[in-house]
Structure 1
Amino acid sequence: MKSRPFWSRVLVISLLLSVTESGTLSGSAASHAVTSDQLVVPAPPKVTTNLNAERKELFEKASILSGIPWAYLAAVDQYERTMNIAKKRPVHQGITSIYFPESDWVGLLNPDQLDTNPRSISFFHGFGRDGSGDGVADRNNDLDVLAAMASIMSKKGNREGNLQINLWNYYQNSRSVERIKQFATIYATLGTLEVGEHAFPLPVTSDYSYRSTWGDSRGWGGHRSHEGTDLFANYGVPVRSTCFGIVEVKGWNPYGGWRIGIRDVNNIYHYYAHLSGYQKGIKENDIVKPGQTIGWVGSSGYGKQGTSGKFPPHLHFGLYRDNGLTEWSFDPYPSLRKWEREDLNKRHK
């Protein structure tokens, strides 16, 4: 007897593990079977489960069958989510956010650009796969999409080096591979997808002041606009990570002095400049958490390495979004106000 297709076993295992004591399916399993655009379910779900926990469960099951570490599957999915936002691509409301254009899914030369037949899609070298075992390759189905991406990622093996080669062959962009590697490191180190918490970059108990300085003129090094917010505080006030992330850059910059850059899983680069020094032991590729001390307020910068005191001590904080090809800054002031309120509320509880 012919064995059940490899990826259809993902659905079988998902359903078996989700059967409750009463013999019915939990809301988590039911949602795996719906299309991500319409979210139509045969019956009202019992309880809405935590989406991140549901996603992690799906990635872990897919990891068992594909041999790809769950953190890499989660990282690709998250990278695609950030690209959907940056490029304003259609965003499905399912568990995954991996995006395939129709022509890539069914095959560029496929005469039927709405094809859902796995065999004909394979004939035309489309990426579409049947991951749910229903005989249909639906690019709006979470399991089908995840099966397609797992197939791409494991073409030349599923060790980390092979995964990166496979991802480069797919994206043709070393920047994309680097981001996915960073996200995977964050997820694997922390062991969770719950990485959305933030913190204000200075202790809210310290003496500081700030206002919106976005776009203000700057003269040193040539005329330029201010790409951030200045938070004025005394020398030595702790500077804290605002996010869960990975230390991407650390060292001297003629403009920013002693600076540090942290990348979060939303593909946002958090930039801290003019520090007087760094927390001992912190280095590039370290994973940091919100509120963790990374350095101290200073007045370094505007010259060769070691230059300090050309302006009052303060923290320059900036945020930059990556669209896969380049980065651009956006006003961090609204985020800072939000994180400040959240930290103050925590103290009052």
Structure 2
Amino acid sequence: MKMIRVMLVMLSVLLGVSHPVYAEKKDDSQARMALYQKTEAVTGIPWEYLAAVDQYERQIHDNPKEGRLTALEADPMFWTGTAGEMPTDFFPEGWGGDGNGDGKTDINNDEDVLWSLGQYINSYGTTKEDIKIALWNYYKRDLTVQTIMNTAKVFQKFQTVSLTDRSFPVPIEANYSYRTTWGDARGFGGRRIHEGTDIFANYGVPVKSTTYGVIEMKGWNRYGGWRVGIRDIYNIYHYYAHLQNFSEDLKVGDVVQPGDVIGGVGASGYGPPGTSGKFPPHLHYGMYQDNGNNEWSFDPYPYLKRWERMEKNK
């Protein structure tokens, strides 16, 4: 089993896969907020959508270049207007423009790029549906559009981009145990690897959201039983499986924050809806990173240990 895990880690390195960063290297959130709000004032596009696009780009590109606050990397084709898919009636020479009033259009200037993004979205309109259409025509990927719209929903609710708190998924005062099991072999439903960490606890122990995010999935899965999926603002899907129950009124589309109870520990799964008791009660917790092209599982164990220490130190 250890060899399988080593091979998976080596494959991740070869593919250029890196683990997500949950805290910015420097606290630039106030400056970023000021930039987003300034751009809202001159474009009419709500700041949370501009921030959500930038947040998405921060996860699929390297950290912003020195001297820049955003991670937006405007496609030179779109910038110069040579791409036939751009709305040429609005931008006959491309969608790049001068956002800071210095008389220049600079592809490496935050204000110019954000202003141009706002102008591009404006060519479709300013309603939620208009923005979704604009994003789809740019990214051509449903999951990307869904992620950005959900991130905007989180930013709008909490009115900040500085959302770095985290929570351990079960109360630390509960009787629980876990170890690293990511990459272990599993047999039910065919040979496959274990894509998460099992946290063993008693039936009904509260299961909490570890992060800020939006409920993306809720219901039955043949493998995971009653499960909940939460997409966070870092393009990461958090998977909570084998639940005994869901929290009352929990529904797809709800915004959650660290510590919000989403259900209870159970032993559901490995069969049709209602199957339970085929293994000891536990929470299966998985994490999946999206890079704009595909999504993959990575080991949540180091993050669980970190969040557990954080809660114990409070």
TM-score range, shorter chain: 0.7 to 0.9
Which position in structure 2 is the counterpart of 1:52? 29
Q: Distance in 1 between matches of 2:183 and 2:94?
A: 46
Residue matched to 1:195 = 163
Matches within 5 A, 1:147-162: 147-162=115-130
Larger Rg: 1
Q: How far apart are the structure 2 equivalents of 1:328 and 1:125?
A: 39
Alignment of 1:257-336 (within 5 A): 257-336=225-304
| Counterpart in the other structure of 1:100 | 74
The count of aligned residue pairs is 283
Aligned residue type for 1:53 = Q
The equivalent position to 1:61 in structure 2, one of 18, 31, 38, is: 38
Q: Which residue of structure 1 lines up, in the alignment, with residue 103 of structure 2?
A: 135
Length-normalised TM-score, structure 1? 0.77
1-side partners of 2:173 and 2:202: how far apart? 13
Which among 52, 60, 66 is matched to residue 83 of structure 1? 60
* Paired residue secondary structure (1:179): helix
SS in 2 for 1:318: strand
Q: Deviation digits for residues 218-274 of structure 1, max 9, x if unmatched?
A: 000101000000011111111100001100000000100000000100010000000
Give the TM-score taking structure 2 as reference length: 0.85
- Whichever residue aligns with residue 323 of structure 1, its letter is N
1:98 alignment partner AA: L
Say whether residues 1:215 and 2:189 are aligned partners. no
Structure 2 residue ranges without an equivalent (≥5): 1-25, 84-89
Q: 2:58, 2:64 within 8 Å by CA — same for their partners in 1?
A: no
CA distance in 2, matches of 1:123, 1:253: 47
Between the aligned partners of 2:67 and 2:219, the Cα distance in structure 1 is 40
Name the SS for the 2:32 alignment partner.
helix
Q: In structure 2, what is the equivalent of residue 228 of structure 1?
A: 196
Q: Distance in 2 between matches of 1:262 and 1:234?
A: 23
Q: Deviation per CA, 1:132-171, whole angstroms, max 9, x where unpaired?
A: 2222222221101111111111112112211111122222
Distance 2:132 2:67 in 1: 28
What value does the CA root-mean-square deviation take over the aligned residues? 1.9
Higher RCO (CA-CA < 8 Å; seq separation 6+): 2
1:188 is paired with a residue whose SS is helix
Percent identical residues: 51
C-alpha distance in 1 between matches for 2:79 and 2:97 = 8
Gaps of 5+ in 1: 1-48, 110-121
